[in-house]
Amino acid sequence: MDKCKQNIILFDLDGTLTDSMEGVIRSVQYMQEKKGMKVWDFEDLRFIVGPPLFESFTKELAMAPEEAEEATAIFRERYSTIGLFENEVFPGIVEMLEELKKKGKRMAVATSKKENLAVRILEHFDIAKYMEVIGGDAREIGRDTKAKVIDYVLETMGAEKEDVIMVGDRKFDIIGAHALGIPCIAVEWGYGDRAEFEAHDADYIVATTEDVANLF
Each residue of 86-119: pLDDT tens digit? 999 999 999 999 999 999 999 999 999 989 999 9
- pTM here is 0.92
pLDDT of residue 31: 97
User: Would you say 188 and 194 are in contact if contact means Cβ atoms under 8 Å apart?
Assistant: yes
pLDDT digits (tens, 9 = 90+) for 47-93: 898 788 888 999 989 999 999 999 999 999 999 999 999 999 999 99
User: Would you say 23 and 87 are in contact if contact means Cβ atoms under 8 Å apart?
Assistant: yes
In angstroms, the CA 192 to CA 100 distance is 23
Whether 12 sits among the annotated catalytic residues: the reply is: yes
Out of 12, 137, 151, 169, the active site residue is: 12
The yes-or-no verdict on residue 171 having pLDDT over 90 is yes
Mention the CATH class of domain 21-85: mainly alpha
CATH 3.40.50.1000 given to domain 8-19+87-214: yes
In angstroms, the CA 110 to CA 143 distance is 11
User: Would you say 165 and 188 are in contact if contact means Cβ atoms under 8 Å apart?
Assistant: no
In angstroms, the CA 61 to CA 29 distance is 12
Domain boundaries, the chain: 8-19+87-214, 21-85
Is the fold of 8-19+87-214 the same as that of 21-85?
A: no
